[in-house]
């Protein structure tokens, strides 16, 4: 329902336009679908590299956020919820991080996503960084959980752009399983 994003000729256009969302919930409170939706706040939108940096440079780094906060960076038109049409048949690749690493890993992931480094066509929906009490979680969401060659490619790129040691565990979870 929002107007298209204008990209002046001198800016570097991205392959996709994105929305950045923020959410925070009170620890201990059960997250129902309704309050998850209500807690999602749209921070901004961008369609060029310059517009991304203008927004990003004003934000608190993920590691400095309070516990139970999330940044959600999704392609425009895709809401960061399992129920969204683009996510329904999808899943997410999950990396659990010890405290203190989230900001750097998140930035590397975001730059790879915006720069189209995953090379999986339309498959990427977005990415989430979740700040929790004892650990932080970074995930990449894709459209088709059943497409194993794509999920393998996402996993390889994820490992490479975050410089993860080869023994790092990367869990894949379908949204369908999460909904149950």
Partner 1 sequence: GTRIVYERAFLMQLRNSPIAR
Q: Distance between CA atoms of 128 and 92, rounded to whole angstroms?
A: 10
The answer to whether residue 53 forms part of the interface with partner 1 (CB under 8 A) is yes
The answer to whether residue 11 forms part of the interface with partner 1 (CB under 8 A) is yes
Tokens 């961008």, residue? 46
Binding positions for partner 1, 55-74, rule CB under 8 A: 57
The answer to whether residue 161 forms part of the interface with partner 1 (CB under 8 A) is yes
Query: What is the chain's percent helix, strand, coil content, to nearest 5?
Result: 30, 30, 40
Candidates 39, 69, 103, 117; binder of partner 1 (CB under 8 A) is 117
Candidates 48-56, 84-92, 128-136, 169-177: pick the segment binding partner 1 (CB under 8 A).
48-56
Angle separating helix axes 102-114 and 148-161, nearest 10 degrees: 120
Q: Distance between CA atoms of 164 and 162, rounded to whole angstroms?
A: 5
Q: Distance between CA atoms of 177 and 134, rounded to whole angstroms?
A: 24
Nearer to partner 1, 41 or 160 (CB): 160
Structure tokens at 139: 């995930």
Q: Distance between CA atoms of 16 and 118, rounded to whole angstroms?
A: 13
- Total residues at the site for partner 1 (CB under 8 A)? 20
The answer to whether residue 147 forms part of the interface with partner 1 (CB under 8 A) is no
The answer to whether residue 108 forms part of the interface with partner 1 (CB under 8 A) is yes
Candidates 72-80, 112-120, 137-145, 172-180: pick the segment binding partner 1 (CB under 8 A).
112-120
Candidates 86-94, 109-117, 128-136, 162-170: pick the segment binding partner 1 (CB under 8 A).
109-117
Nearer to partner 1, 11 or 84 (CB): 11
- Do residues 75 and 36 lie in contact, with contact meaning Cβ atoms separated by under 8 Å? no
Angle separating helix axes 102-114 and 49-56, nearest 10 degrees: 160
Candidates 42, 67, 85, 115; binder of partner 1 (CB under 8 A) is 115
Binding interface with partner 1 (CB under 8 A): 11-15, 49-54, 57, 108, 111-112, 114-117, 161
């Amino acid at each position: 329902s929002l107007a298209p994003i204008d990209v002046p000729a001198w800016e570097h256009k991205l392959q996709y336009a994105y929305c950045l969302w923020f959410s925070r919930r009170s620890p201990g409170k059960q997250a129902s679908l309704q309050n998850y939706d209500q807690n999602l706040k749209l921070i901004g939108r961008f369609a060029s590299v310059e517009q991304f940096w203008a927004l990003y440079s004003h934000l608190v780094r993920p590691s400095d956020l309070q516990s139970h906060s999330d940044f959600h960076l999704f392609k425009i038109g895709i809401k960061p919820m399992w129920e969204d049409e683009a996510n329904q048949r999808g899943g997410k690749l999950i990396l659990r991080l010890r405290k203190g690493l989230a900001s750097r890993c998140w930035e590397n992931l975001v730059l790879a996503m915006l720069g189209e480094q995953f090379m999986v066509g339309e498959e990427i929906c977005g990415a989430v960084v979740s700040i929790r009490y004892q650990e932080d979680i970074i995930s990449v969401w894709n459209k088709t959980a059943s497409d194993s060659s794509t999920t393998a490619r996402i996993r390889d790129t994820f490992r490479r752009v975050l410089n993860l040691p080869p023994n790092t565990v990367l869990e894949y979870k379908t949204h369908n399983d999460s909904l149950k």
